[in-house]
Each structure stands twice: as C-alpha cells, then as structure tokens.
Amino acid sequence: MMDWTDRHCRYFHRVLSRHARLYTEMVATGALIHGDAGRHLDFDRSENPVALQLGGSEPAELAHCARLGERWGYSEINLNCGCPSERVQQGAFGACLMAEPATVADCVKAMRDAVSIDVTVKHRIGIDRRDDYAFVRDFVGAVRAAGCSTFIVHARSAWLSGLSPKENREVPPLRYETVRRLKGDFPDCTFVLNGGMNAAGPVLRELQQADGVMLGRAAYQSPWLLVELERALFGSEGAPGDVADVVATMSEYLDGAAASGVAVRSVVRPMLGLLHGQRGARAWRRLLSDPAFLQQYGRDSLRAAACASDAPRTCFHVQPAAF
C-alpha cells in the first residue's frame, strides 16, 4: 500500500472504524535513516492502534528504525516480506526475503531485542515455483524461532518476475487453506488472513477460522466496508451513523490540516471511494478529483461535494472559499 495509506488515509479509516488496527504504507529503512524521519513517522494519536510497516533486510538498520517507531508511539512494528515489486526487490527486501528465512529471523530478533512492542511479519505463501506447503511452513518456523508470533499471510504466491505488482494481486491463485494449515501447525501463533477480501460476508466467514483478516485496497476503494464490519463485529456504538457524519468529521480535520499547510487534495484523495455503490458516487469522485473544484471550495470541498453529488442524507451550507 505504498503511496496509499498515508496519515490522512489512516485518520479517515479510524473515523470509519474504532477497532480496526491500521498499518502505515511500507517505509524503507533508508528513508528513515537518511531522510526526514518525521515526515514518514508523524501521525495523529487518534489513529492508534497503528503499526509501522518497514521494508529492509539489514538487522541493525531495522532495529534502529523499530526504535524510532516505538519512540514515535506506534503499537507494532511489521516487517514486509510480501511486496513483489521490482523496485523493492532491488533493495533486497519484500517478498524476495522469503528465500532467506535465516535473514528474516535475524532481522526479527534484532527488532525484538530493540523494542518492547510487538514485532510481526507480513508474507506470501510462496515465491515463484517455490510454493509448496513445506516452503512456507519452514519459513514461518524459522521466523517463529526468532520470537515472532504474529504472521499476516497474503494467501497467494508472489511471482518475482513476469508479473506486475497488480498482476501479483490477481493472477496467482488464492489458497486460504494454506493459512488454515499454518494455524494448525503453529497453534501458539496468530495468523491474519490477507488477499481477496472485498465484502463483509467473506470477511466474517473467514474470521470464524482465522485470527484476523487484513484488508488492503478494498478498504481504500470501498471504505464504507469498514463501517459495515465495525457494526457487525462491535455494534453500532461509536460507528458513524451515515455519510453525513463522516463528511462532518473529516471536514473538521481538513480545516485543521489545510491551516497547517497540507494540500486539500492530500486529505480528500483517500475519500474518493466513500460513496462507492451509493447514490452520487460518480459525482462525488469527479468533483473531489477536480483541481479547479478543490481550489474553488478549499477547506469546504468535502461539504460542497456532498451537496453537489446528492450524497445520501447529506447537505451542508457552503460558499466558495478559495485560499
């Protein structure tokens, strides 16, 4: 979810769900060590619980970044061993690390020794032609021996050559049974299922067997799904009542963010799918994607788009207020 789940997206998702655990986009260790750490790590405390997802393969560098994450207030450090992009592979991290379980184990141990918060691993069920059950079982076993007890498993293999990142999310077949088998072989571990979950019904069914379900692009493209799951799992108390509630809350956030110099587009971009499947969805997306509209309405852009798109039970009094 690089370039997707930034701090504004996570704030929005926390408005939709009080209980979901949120994850940052993957941050390379080099960006924290040699770049502006604050730009990558700052977040609103209302986002908690939120996990910092790291990309890297050097134990000492990961330990340093894990300490930064704990110092910044994150609840979890997650090592990404699942991203198949060529750019990530060139940095010697992501899914290619599954071929080096001893290296991953060293990285996990170094991070666990450096912080008191949980250290978890996100991975695939195989890479390229190495997708038999024994391969992923041995990977989990090696990392478990290093002290990791929570695994977020994208239930597809990653093809490190020949497929784009998008194709790697669609072409290799989903094998949820592999995750269930891992849970049986490692009963003291937590297994969170990832991949292919895009509606409340399948998520709720899988939660009867898995310890958790991670949503990726489905939560971004159809964010109201988070509200549906919040209500189904934890009740309506604390969940937004309707789109108007979300627009009102996020408009207050936008006002503060814009006052501090954040571009309006950065806040509204994660909200483009808010009306997915509802009346006014096309107009809502079109308006919030239009630079001229955002310039015209500025901090009132969300309220104006809600009125103009005839969003369900949503109407606000707004006037153009460019800034």
Q: What is the pLDDT of residues 27-70, one digit of tens each?
A: 999 999 999 999 899 998 889 999 999 999 999 999 999 999 99
User: For the structural domain made of 7-223, what CATH number should be given?
Assistant: 3.20.20.70
Helices (H) then strands (E): counts for the chain? 17, 8
Domain range annotation of the chain = 7-223, 243-308
> Is 83 in the active site?
yes
Nearest to 176 by CA among 158, 192, 155: 155
Q: What average pLDDT does range 198-222 have in this prediction? A: 93
Q: Hey, CA dihedral for 254, 255, 258, 264, is it positive or negative?
A: positive
Residue 71: CB partners within 8 Å, gap ≥ 6? none
Q: Is residue 89's pLDDT more than 80?
A: no
Query: What is the rounded CA–CA span in Å between residue 147 and residue 125?
Result: 20
Q: From the candidates 65, 83, 107, 148, which is the catalytic residue?
A: 83
Instruction: Please tell me the class of the 243-308 domain.
Output: mainly alpha
Q: What is the pTM of this model?
A: 0.90
Residue 94: which pLDDT band, with cuts at 50, 70 and 90? confident
Query: What is the rounded CA–CA span in Å between residue 226 and residue 239?
Result: 9
Q: Could you report the per-residue pLDDT of 239-275, keeping only the tens digit for each?
A: 898 999 999 999 999 999 999 999 999 999 999 999 9
What are the angstrom distances between the C-alpha of 233 and each of 20, 227, 321?
10, 10, 40
Cβ atoms of residues 65 and 35 within 8 Å: no
Q: Which tokens belong to 116?
A: 């008191």
